[in-house]
Structure 1
Amino acid sequence: MSAVDVRRIAYQGEPGSNSHLVCQRHHPDHEAVACASFEDVFAAVEGGDAHLALIPIDNSLAGRVADIHHFLPESSLHIVGEHFLRIQFSLMALPGATVDTIRTVHSHVHALGQCRKVVRELGLTPVVSGDTAGAAREIAELGDPTQAAIAPPLAAEIYGLDILREDVEDEDHNTTRFVVLSRDYVEAPAGRGPVVTSFVFNVRNLPAALYKALGGFATNGVNMTKLESYMVDGQFTATQFLAEVDGHPADPGVARALEELAFFTHDVKVLGVYPAAPDRLDH
């Protein structure tokens, strides 16, 4: 296979991040391409520099990932898959360092918040970095045995650090959900296993419009697994909703529910119809 033929998947973060790990685990036939921002990830696929994008959308502890819900409706990309990752962090430092020599620990603010117990137990001074894997790279570059990082185990492998402690996260149910995006609209076939349908909509300015719009899903026995609202263009009166349901638009119940939804909403946009991850029910 020539370099031109190599398929690429873009992710936000530095090599060794959790997003990088998901790319390696679920898309080993793609070259993983690190991007500095979510905007760069979307642009890479929209511009043809990458075939797929992988972005985190929800975390079981921190909730929805900021900004992603604003990018999705405006993007020309489509959701074609999902993956769940049990988040595991390690405490790492330079070779030869020990828990007795380290004094400070670098990581992303969310990771530091999710690993408070080990930081407190070891009496470490937390230092906020922009990215967990980036924190590991910083420690490798600094060359200071008193400084450590909290990052995914993959980062220790990439940057040549020793893992001092594994699984230092406070909770064992810390899970992030990622979605895979493509320029091409690829709809999962109906009747071949569990399917998720993701869509956005705006509610018409009518009394009880949201209640009526969602009523069709209840009366048709469609399970709605996600419903989130957020402002559009900073206007308090303009609210957009992101919803996800179990099922395919070709399923009679889902089809009737979406038809009823259209009566009370506008700007309905299906973001993707994709296979449910095998471990979705575990999360």
Structure 2
Amino acid sequence: MSKIYFQGTFGAYSHLAALSVDPDAEILPCKTFDDCFNKASSEAECKIIIPESNRITGNIGIEYLIFKHRLNIYEEHFQKIEHNLLGQPGAKLSDIKEVYSHAQGLSQCSKFIKDNNITEHIRADTAGSAEMISKTKDIKQAAIASSLSAEIYGLSVIKKNIENENGNLTRFLIMGKNISQPEFGDKKYITSFLFKLKSKPAALYQSLGGFAINGVNLTKLQSYPEKNTFDSFFFLCELDGHIEDSKVQKSLEELGLHCEDFHVLGVFEADKLREKNN
């Protein structure tokens, strides 16, 4: 049986995403993102599922761990995030005076919280908030979390889908130590890589010329300072295409001339949801 680690508590959106990716896997929680990456670095056969960005609130902030551990990316998965107000069995919306959740959960449901005049409390995660209120048994307290959390912790869904905007998606990456990539076929692929440029003027501008010349579409290019410095940056990058495509190869060879560090993180099929959301 395959093993997938996620950050958080049972019932977290990462747990839900892991079930969507592989319902037959052994799915295990880790306290922190660091713990997840350490597990994958030491256990070659396991995988981790990590939220990388949210459509509404942007990056989750795990780039430094991607740079440090350089795990292989096998797959991307877009998970629809549906926030629910969970309370004690029998509680009504009018009973709720306080709500607990992760900061992003609260901000993504801010309109509902304000409209219902509920006091909010930030906690480390959504599912942990559900677990906590299941123990306090206070009818005035609620959590914002997944419907899976309600099932696990014996809570009632007082109100479904309370997020400010429909179509809230979180992009998850499935990663591990072993290198594996799909054969180049007639599908849509993404190649993900990181690089660090040699220190010279206009280095970034010159390094990206190969992509333009070869007609390769960059879908992500983000810079991050390396190890507590502000004068040395690495870049996380994604492009449309498979690394075995000659256009992609030529572009990456051109980029390589300008780099002092270059590492392919993975080649994987694009999630079908990308087409629907374009």
Same fold (TM over 0.5): yes
Q: Does the CA-based 8 Å contact 2:44-2:178 persist in structure 1?
A: no
Name the counterpart of 2:14.
Answer: 19
For the pair 1:226 / 2:216, whether they are aligned, the reply is no
Distance of 2:162 and 2:197 partners within structure 1 = 44
Where has structure 1 moved over 4 Å in runs of 4 or more?
none
Q: Does the CA-based 8 Å contact 1:232-1:239 persist in structure 2?
A: yes
For the pair 1:91 / 2:92, whether they are aligned, the reply is no
Q: CA deviation at 1:206?
A: 1.6
Q: Does the CA-based 8 Å contact 2:45-2:178 persist in structure 1?
A: no
CA deviation string 1:112-161 (max 9, x = no partner): 01101111111110011110011100110111001001101111111110
Distance of 1:230 and 1:43 partners within structure 2 = 21
CA deviation string 1:9-67 (max 9, x = no partner): 0000111111000111111121110110011111222222861100011111111111x
Q: CA deviation at 1:281?
A: 2.3
Which of 201, 211, 216 is matched with 2:205 structurally? 211
**Structure 1 alignment gaps of length 5 or more:** 1-5
* TM-score, L = length of structure 2: 0.97
Which of 263, 267, 273 is matched with 1:279 structurally? 273
Name the counterpart of 1:146.
Answer: 140
AA of the residue aligned to 2:2:
R
Change (3 A) 1:119 1:232: same
Q: Does the CA-based 8 Å contact 1:73-1:269 persist in structure 2?
A: no
Distance of 1:105 and 1:146 partners within structure 2 = 9
Structure 1 window deviating more from structure 2 (75-84 vs 43-52): it is 43-52
Q: Does the CA-based 8 Å contact 1:73-1:271 persist in structure 2?
A: no
Q: Spell out the pairing of 1:51-200 with structure 2 (5 A cutoff).
A: 51-66=46-61, 68-200=62-194
* TM-score, L = length of structure 1: 0.95
Between the two proteins, the alignment pairs up a number of residues equal to: 277
Name the counterpart of 1:237.
Answer: 231
Distance of 2:205 and 2:191 partners within structure 1 = 20
Name the counterpart of 1:3.
Answer: none
Change (3 A) 1:82 1:73: same
Name the counterpart of 1:40.
Answer: 35
AA of the residue aligned to 2:156:
D
Q: CA deviation at 1:194?
A: 1.1
**Structure 2 alignment gaps of length 5 or more:** none
Secondary structure of the equivalent of 1:185? coil
Distance of 1:228 and 1:91 partners within structure 2 = 35
RMSD of aligned Cα (Å): 1.2
AA of the residue aligned to 1:51:
C
Distance of 1:240 and 1:281 partners within structure 2 = 29
Structure 1 window deviating more from structure 2 (44-53 vs 79-88): it is 44-53
Identical positions, percent? 39
Q: CA deviation at 1:195?
A: 1.0
Secondary structure of the equivalent of 1:100? helix
